[in-house]
């Protein structure tokens, strides 16, 4: 068995290396890897099929989690040799991975690495955010992180990052893949980096004034907060050196009022990464310089390193071409975590037509605006927190932070919702409360209570914002 495990590992690593074109330099001013970024649909499918044929035996021989799943489903690795075979393999969701970790803490059995291999590879530990459940821990080898750096460099090159840029990382360097992956990609690109972890808002504002970065890297929530901090100091964010806001961790481009608010505040272009710790720690989705033209907002998906699908949220069956569904990712660029049909779980619609930028890879139209894990079910009406955000941020003067509180009414047990917003016109008699309530009713067809509090009352967020508090007697938050 060890010989088979070693043979399939060597075959997998050789396949990864074979398709890593233009690894250390951009091929031209528009595309880091023209052979891959501009590949035809037939070429992309051929790459995906060759990688699938190599990764399934590798998973079977090296991961107890995957071997058990193959055997339980009555499948052999050779049964999933092309993308047309993927539907035979039910999606893997977070609950299945969590159960595996609980049965064999702290890492579970889904990794393909033995202790002996870990000890020779060098590795780094990362964690999911835990915004929709218990954080899950992943280790990624140095081989994985080198592939990350290459993928991220390709994505940031698509955004228009250049050696003349300076990137200010305004995010904490915890066990989160976003900041570390960006840093590794920037190093490959030869772009200057200012680490900003451990600083408060005023210190970061001083760094922007003193060192004049052209790119800010942070969550959308923190970009809003940082802009307000500059204004409180008598400075104009739009007059700074910043030309690009590089955001991840939360939706931004997909939410018109948030997108407009950020770009107007900073006088800068908003660019975005999308991914997940489990299966897409590198830039699973990313903007190109054509994003936003003619009012179309989308993210490219790097299909030579990942296979992206959408599935029906009820049946988990693949959706028809062009239909909206939940995102599913098969990761084809990892030694230690090559996930097979992992349910990332964000709603989008895939478009496989070639983009105006020249890239042939699929695009997530409208970006990713609602994660199934976040779906709220209130008295049978289902909606996303991003819909609340859209309604609230469209009202002039409302602060950047808001909170959603779900509870059960004491007298009759009815589930109700209150939305807390910030505004200068605050207090019990605020006329703004009715305006916000009307906007919410229009957007989600629910009457909600509204509380208007003074500016700077609600906590500011640096990483992923946690805006929903559920105090209901029965938890009606939809979990998938």
- List, for residues 360-407, the tens digit of each pLDDT value: 999 999 998 777 777 788 877 778 888 888 889 889 989 888 999 999
Which pLDDT score, from 0 to 100, does residue 227 have? Answer: 94
Residue 132 near residue 467 (C-beta atoms within 8 A): no
Provide mean pLDDT across the span 257-284.
Answer: 89
- pLDDT tens per residue, range 20-33: 888 889 999 999 99
Residue 419 near residue 450 (C-beta atoms within 8 A): yes
Share of the chain above pLDDT 90, in %: 59
- pLDDT tens per residue, range 184-207: 999 999 999 999 988 889 999 999
**Residues 106-110: contacts with CB under 8 Å, at least 24 apart:** 106/137, 107/137, 107/138, 107/139, 108/65, 109/63, 109/64, 109/65, 109/68, 110/63, 110/65, 110/66, 110/337, 110/339
- The region of weakest confidence among 46-50, 321-325, 369-373 is 369-373
* Pairing outcome for strands 244-247 and 269-276: parallel
Which pLDDT score, from 0 to 100, does residue 343 have? Answer: 92
Mean pLDDT of the chain: 89
Which pLDDT score, from 0 to 100, does residue 478 have? Answer: 37
pLDDT band at 475 (very low <50, low <70, confident <90, very high): very low
Provide mean pLDDT across the span 297-325.
Answer: 94
Residue 230: pLDDT over 60: yes
Greater confidence (132 vs 91) lies with 91
SS3 257: helix
**Residue 287 exposure: Cα atoms within 13 Å on the Cβ side:** 27
Which pLDDT score, from 0 to 100, does residue 249 have? Answer: 80
Residue 477: pLDDT over 60: no
Which pLDDT score, from 0 to 100, does residue 371 have? Answer: 72
Other C-beta atoms lying within 10 Å of the C-beta of residue 103: 10
Total-model pTM? 0.85
Residue 350 near residue 308 (C-beta atoms within 8 A): yes
Domains of the chain: 1-370 (3.40.50.12780), 376-471 (3.30.300.30)
Which pLDDT score, from 0 to 100, does residue 35 have? Answer: 94
Alpha carbons 416 and 45: distance in angstroms, whole number = 48
Residue 214: pLDDT over 50: yes
pLDDT band at 106 (very low <50, low <70, confident <90, very high): confident
Residue 383 near residue 440 (C-beta atoms within 8 A): no
Nearest-5° angle of CA 332, CA 336, CA 276?
65
Alpha carbons 353 and 360: distance in angstroms, whole number = 7
């Amino acid at each position: 068995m060890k010989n088979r495990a070693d043979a399939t590992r060597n075959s997998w690593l050789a396949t990864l290396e074979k398709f890593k074109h233009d690894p250390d330099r951009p091929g031209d001013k528009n595309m880091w890897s023209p052979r891959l970024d501009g590949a035809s649909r037939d070429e992309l499918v051929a790459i995906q099929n060759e990688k699938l044929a190599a990764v399934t035996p590798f998973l079977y021989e090296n991961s107890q989690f995957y071997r058990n799943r193959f055997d339980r489903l009555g499948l052999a690795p050779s049964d999933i040799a092309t993308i047309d075979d993927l539907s035979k393999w039910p999606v893997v969701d977070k609950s299945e991975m969590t159960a595996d970790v609980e049965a064999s803490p702290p890492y579970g059995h889904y990794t393909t690495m033995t202790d002996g291999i870990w000890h020779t590879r060098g590795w780094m530990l990362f964690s999911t955010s835990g915004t929709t459940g218990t954080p899950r821990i992943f280790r990624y080898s140095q081989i994985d992180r080198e592939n990350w750096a290459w993928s991220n460099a390709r994505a940031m090159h698509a955004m228009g990052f250049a050696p003349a840029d300076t990137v200010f990382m305004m995010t904490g360097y915890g066990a989160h893949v976003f900041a570390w992956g960006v840093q590794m990609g920037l190093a490959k690109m030869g772009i200057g980096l200012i680490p900003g972890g451990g600083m408060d808002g005023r210190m970061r504002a001083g760094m922007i004034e003193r060192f004049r970065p052209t790119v800010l890297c942070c969550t959308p929530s923190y970009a809003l907060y940082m802009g307000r901090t500059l204004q409180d100091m008598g400075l104009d964010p739009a007059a700074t050196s910043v030309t690009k806001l590089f955001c991840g961790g939360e939706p931004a481009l997909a939410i018109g009022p948030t997108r407009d608010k950020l770009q107007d505040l900073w006088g800068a272009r908003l660019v975005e990464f999308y991914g997940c710790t489990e299966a897409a720690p590198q830039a699973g989705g990313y903007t190109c310089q054509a994003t936003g033209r003619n009012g179309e907002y989308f993210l490219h998906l790097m299909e030579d390193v990942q296979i992206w699908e959408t599935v029906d949220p009820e049946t988990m069956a693949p959706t028809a071409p062009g239909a909206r569904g939940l995102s599913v990712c098969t990761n084809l660029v990892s030694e230690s975590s090559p996930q097979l049909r992992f349910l990332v779980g964000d709603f989008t619609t895939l478009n496989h037509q070639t983009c105006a930028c020249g890239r042939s890879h699929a695009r997530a139209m409208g970006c990713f605006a609602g994660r199934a894990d976040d779906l709220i079910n209130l008295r049978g009406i289902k909606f996303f927190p991003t819909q609340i955000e859209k309604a609230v941020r469209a009202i002039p003067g409302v602060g950047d932070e808001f909170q959603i509180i779900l509870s059960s009414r004491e007298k009759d047990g009815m589930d109700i919702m209150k939305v807390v917003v910030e505004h200068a016109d605050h207090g019990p008699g605020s006329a703004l409360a009715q305006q916000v309530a009307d906007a919410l009713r229009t957007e989600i067809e629910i009457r909600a209570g509204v509380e208007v509090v003074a500016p700077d009352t609600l906590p500011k967020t640096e990483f992923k914002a946690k805006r929903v508090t559920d105090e209901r007697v029965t938890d009606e938050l939809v979990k998938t």
